[in-house]
Amino acid sequence: MMKLGKKDILGIRDMTPDEIRLILDTAESFLEISTRDIKKVPTLRGKSVINLFYEASTRTRTSFEIAGKRLSADTINISASSSSVVKGETLIDTARNLEAMNPDIIVLRHSAAGAPHLLASLVRQSIINAGDGANEHPSQALLDMMTIREKKGRIDGLKVAIIGDILHSRVARSNIHGLTKMGARVAVAGPATMMPRDIERLGVEAHLKIDDAIVDADVVMMLRIQLERQKQNIFPSLREYAQRFCLNRRNLQLARPDAIVMHPGPMNRGVEISPDIADDPGCSVILDQVNNGVAVRMALFYLLSGGNDE
Amino acid sequence: MKLILKNARVIDPSCRLDARMDLVIEEGKISGGKSGLKPKPGVETMDLAGLIVMPGLIDMHTHLREPGFEYKETIATGSAAAVAGGFTSIACMPNTKPVNDNRSITEFIRRKAAEANLANVYPIGAVSLGSEGRQMTEFWDLKEAGVVALSDDGNPVMDAALMRRAMEYAHSLDLPVIQHCEDKNLSAGGLMNEGYYATLLGLPGIPAIAEEVMAGRDILLAEYTRTRIHIAHVSTAGTVRLIREAKKRGIAVTAETAPHYFTLTDESLQGYGTNYKVSPPLRNEADRAAIREGLADGTLDAIACDHAPHGRTDKEVEFEYAANGISGLETSLGLSMALVREGVLTLSGLAAALSWNPARILKIPKGTLAPGADADITVIDPDLPWTVDVRSFASRGKNSPFSGYALKGRAVLTIVGGDIKYDGRAKRS
């Protein structure tokens, strides 16, 4: 098996298509472990993983934790509310203290874009970016690409529509980088206030109406609306947003008949996605995403730990 | 005490002078320029062949941090950085703690500067109490105490009515008002220039219009009130255009830019390096080109480095939490010399931007080598190659994105009032 020539997973932006393929292939090989009665292999026995979360997260943190445990790594969770973070210690000092305890991998979630890059430049451990501000969320994009490949057999040549608050979304950024690298056509749509400037230069089509992006899409990816954006006048009301940008039976008709629907969670049902679409096993792959998320994170731990122990 | 500077190329835009000559300094004043003077016993004579002599450089936009933030810089260390960078005079912004909004702070700054006895330090007073944008400070009193201009700098005057009143009142006292143009509503939450790189990096953007909206407003206010306005650290093509058009229409607007705006762009932020975080933010390539054009055609009058020293704790943090600013006094001249080599400015133009124009804008009796003037002189080796090493900075602020840069040209002698305050001739080996 090929080895991943990287110390850290900071973003999809600096990954090659071969690296993405290696991670997805490795993740697929780990899928089966999660279906066993005894969901544990000794691969990373004696390794330790610290989940350092400066932002609240249930799904991502749990997914990383389960991924580590299934590989027999020791996983330790540190969250902002229960650590020295509240005492005003800097990220750099926290990192150096953790480094001194010799973990193997640090998974970092932080509200400031670039925080994992800062950490990676300071400590010898591998850093996995579990979401930094509006920059990237690489493991999410990897699990999304894994799910697309699983359902469609390929990524190359597909049309993927990403709908919602592109400006503030790290999920959108990581997926845009990954999907375009893997040969997909990406169309984004959202209100003008949620469209980042010069987004086209990332190699995507930008639309201001959901219908225009969805037409002929093989994959429709809905983004979570952050309710607090309303206060910043990014959008006037949830009511109006839901009327214009919610994925529903009508606009989903515009996509290909076999289109799949994705959402990184947590969903605002009835705001960005109508409940009957979210729960429709004919098109919704939302829970497959979650399942694949564990496998992708196992693959990242495995590859960063050397990747050829088995 | 008499000093003769021999054989240098003397450049003085105030007298339209560019000639090889000897300069005589007596009792701290320029006593005349001649050629072929013979060394005499008891008179110190320096042969400056191959070097350039300019009127002492003036940086009209610095932050000396004292009182309040002495861990970042003090008036003494900032003055030492000034003379090491070739600056004989600096004007310091009022955003200290407490803010320089009253006579006692102004007097404190002047006393500390006199004790340091290096560069001339000209305090800039706040427009509003605490720079909070509500109540005007006592302009008369501040002027009498020694301020040369008024500005709320980083807390720009958002209230147009207050700005109008401040401009009118200040104009009656012949005090320039300097505005850091930034509409705080448009820039709210922003961390870097809005555009492709902000989109790429997922950092919230500060649009160019945040600067331009306020620059446009203040130009209109200057026109209407028949007063004048100085626009600080111009960073965008749009602001350059607004100023160019305003000057054409005869509005009394002057402007400065900083070396980082004609040297760097927002592309540099790709590694989230906090030393590139500055306010206004580094803009795009078109803006950088426009700044250079603005310097070339005189739209931008002055180069001021916005010297913003910070401690390690201010910069060694996540990009979002890092302080804005660059410790610039010791790289400003070296970066500006590149403009001469690249044909943007002549040496005379450079001397105007770094000395004569700031003196005129601030109405201080500096920036000239005319007989009788204070002997504030900067001697520059235009070809001296050197590498920026922040550890050798006299400034406490080691925060420079230019660390490791190979520059050409630097000050080798900084003379203030006839006294040598910095001698870097040893570096010419």
Mutate to test the interface with B, among A132, A165, A174, A232 (most CBs of B within 10 A): A132
pLDDT averaged over every residue in chain A: 93
- Look at residue A310 and tell me whether its pLDDT is greater than 50: no
Chain B CB contacts of A110 under 8 Å are 318
What residue has token string 């005499």?
B40
- pLDDT, residue B429, reads 57
pLDDT tier at B415 (50, 70, 90 boundaries)? very high
Chain B CB contacts of A135 under 8 Å are 201-203
Chain B CB contacts of A198 under 8 Å are 195-196, 199
Q: What mean pLDDT do residues A138-147 have?
A: 98
Query: Pick the catalytic residue: B153, B183, B266, B306?
Result: B306
Percentage of chain A beyond pLDDT 70 is 96
Task: Assess contact for B198 and A197: CB atoms under 8 A.
Answer: yes
Task: Assess contact for B422 and B88: CB atoms under 8 A.
Answer: no
Answer whether A112 sits within 8 Å of B196, measured CB to CB.
Answer: no
Helix, strand, coil distribution of chain B in percent, nearest 5: 35, 25, 40
Lowest mean pLDDT among A93-107, A205-219, B114-128, B344-358: A93-107
Answer whether A135 sits within 8 Å of B203, measured CB to CB.
Answer: yes
Mutate to test the interface with A, among B185, B193, B200 (most CBs of A within 10 A): B200
Answer whether A113 sits within 8 Å of B313, measured CB to CB.
Answer: no
Answer whether A118 sits within 8 Å of B321, measured CB to CB.
Answer: no
Q: Residue B238 corresponds to which amino acid?
A: G
- Report chain A residues touching chain B, CB-CB < 8 A: 13, 90-92, 110-115, 117-118, 132-136, 170, 173, 196-199, 201-202, 232
Out of B189, B194, B319, name the one closest to residue A113 (CB). B319
Instruction: Give the tens place of pLDDT for each residue, A33-89.
Output: 989 999 999 999 999 999 999 998 889 999 999 999 999 999 999 987 645 555 678
pLDDT averaged over every residue in chain B: 96
Instruction: Give the tens place of pLDDT for each residue, B259-277.
Output: 999 999 999 999 999 999 9
Chain A CB contacts of B266 under 8 Å are none
Half-sphere exposure of B150 (CA within 13 A, CB side): 36
Backbone angles phi, psi at A239, to 5 degrees: -60, -50
Q: What mean pLDDT do residues B222-246 have?
A: 98
Answer whether A92 sits within 8 Å of B196, measured CB to CB.
Answer: no
pLDDT tier at A309 (50, 70, 90 boundaries)? very low
Q: What mean pLDDT do residues B196-221 have?
A: 98
- pLDDT, residue A86, reads 54
Out of B203, B205, B318, name the one closest to residue A110 (CB). B318
Answer whether B320 sits within 8 Å of A198, measured CB to CB.
Answer: no
Answer whether A133 sits within 8 Å of B272, measured CB to CB.
Answer: no
Q: What mean pLDDT do residues B380-396 have?
A: 97
DSSP string covering A110-124, please? Answer: ESSTTHHHHHHHH-S
Answer whether B203 sits within 8 Å of A91, measured CB to CB.
Answer: no
Chain A CB contacts of B272 under 8 Å are 113-114, 117-118
- ipTM of the complex model: 0.93
Q: Is B306 designated active site?
A: yes
Q: What mean pLDDT do residues B39-53 have?
A: 88
Out of B202, B313, B317, name the one closest to residue A113 (CB). B202
Mutate to test the interface with B, among A8, A52, A118, A135 (most CBs of B within 10 A): A118
What residue has token string 């003494």?
B76
Answer whether B320 sits within 8 Å of A112, measured CB to CB.
Answer: yes
According to DSSP, the β-strands at B205-206 and B192-193 are parallel
Percentage of chain B beyond pLDDT 90 is 95
Q: What mean pLDDT do residues B225-236 have?
A: 98
Question: What residues pair up with A310 in beta bridges, in sequence order?
Answer: none
Chain A CB contacts of B200 under 8 Å are 13, 202
DSSP string covering B42-110, please? Answer: TSEEEE-TT-EEEEPEEEEEE---TTT-TTT--HHHHHHHHHHTTEEEEEE-S-SSS-S-SHHHHHHHH
pLDDT tier at B121 (50, 70, 90 boundaries)? very high
- pLDDT, residue A84, reads 52
- Spatial separation of the C-alpha atoms in residues A55 and A140, rounded to whole Å: 16
Distances (CA, A) of A249 to A212, A253, A274, A289, B235: 15, 6, 8, 21, 49
Q: Which residues are CB-contacts of A21 (< 8 A; sequence separation ≥ 6)? A: none
Q: What residue in B sits closest to A198 (Cα-Cα)?
A: B196
What residue has token string 């006048």?
A233
- pLDDT, residue A89, reads 83
Q: What mean pLDDT do residues B130-146 have?
A: 98
Chain B CB contacts of A118 under 8 Å are 272, 318-319
Can you say whether the dihedral through the CA atoms of A273, A277, A280, A282 is positive or negative?
Answer: negative
- Spatial separation of the C-alpha atoms in residues B24 and B42, rounded to whole Å: 14
Q: What residue in A sits closest to B313 (Cα-Cα)?
A: A90
Instruction: Give the tens place of pLDDT for each residue, A240-299.
Output: 999 999 999 999 999 999 999 999 999 999 999 999 999 999 999 999 999 999 999 999
What residue has token string 């760097």?
B264
Calculate how close chain B gets to A94, using CA atoms only, in Å: 11
Chain A CB contacts of B203 under 8 Å are 113-114, 133-135
Answer whether A197 sits within 8 Å of B317, measured CB to CB.
Answer: no
Chain B CB contacts of A196 under 8 Å are 198-199, 205
Q: What mean pLDDT do residues A114-141 have?
A: 96
According to DSSP, the β-strands at B406-416 and B419-423 are antiparallel
Answer whether A135 sits within 8 Å of B318, measured CB to CB.
Answer: no
pLDDT tier at A115 (50, 70, 90 boundaries)? very high
Answer whether B319 sits within 8 Å of A112, measured CB to CB.
Answer: yes
What residue has token string 């340091």?
B116
- The token pair that represents B5 in the structure block: 């500077």
Calculate how close chain A gets to B320, using CA atoms only, in Å: 6
Nearest Cα to B334, choosing from B378, B281, B286? B378
Answer whether A112 sits within 8 Å of B321, measured CB to CB.
Answer: yes
pLDDT tier at A308 (50, 70, 90 boundaries)? low
pLDDT tier at A1 (50, 70, 90 boundaries)? low
Out of A111, A170, A198, name the one closest to residue B199 (CB). A198
Q: What is the DSSP letter of A153?
A: S
- Spatial separation of the C-alpha atoms in residues A252 and B360, rounded to whole Å: 67
Counted across chains A and B, CB pairs separated by less than 8 A come out at 64
Q: What mean pLDDT do residues B319-340 have?
A: 97
Task: Assess contact for B104 and B141: CB atoms under 8 A.
Answer: no
Mutate to test the interface with B, among A198, A202, A233, A234 (most CBs of B within 10 A): A198
B216: helix, coil or strand?
helix
- Spatial separation of the C-alpha atoms in residues A241 and A249, rounded to whole Å: 16
Q: Which residues are CB-contacts of B317 (< 8 A; sequence separation ≥ 6)? A: A90, A91, A92, B274
- Spatial separation of the C-alpha atoms in residues B428 and B212, rounded to whole Å: 43
What is the layout of strands, in order, in the sheet containing B252-257?
B178-179, B228-231, B252-257, B302-303
Give helix B160-172 / helix B208-225 axis angle, nearest 10°: 50
Answer whether A135 sits within 8 Å of B201, measured CB to CB.
Answer: yes
pLDDT tier at A227 (50, 70, 90 boundaries)? confident
Nearest Cα to B349, choosing from B9, B13, B20? B13
Give helix A138-152 / helix A17-31 axis angle, nearest 10°: 70
Q: Which residues are CB-contacts of A89 (< 8 A; sequence separation ≥ 6)? A: none
Q: What residue in A sits closest to B189 (Cα-Cα)?
A: A232
B147: helix, coil or strand?
coil
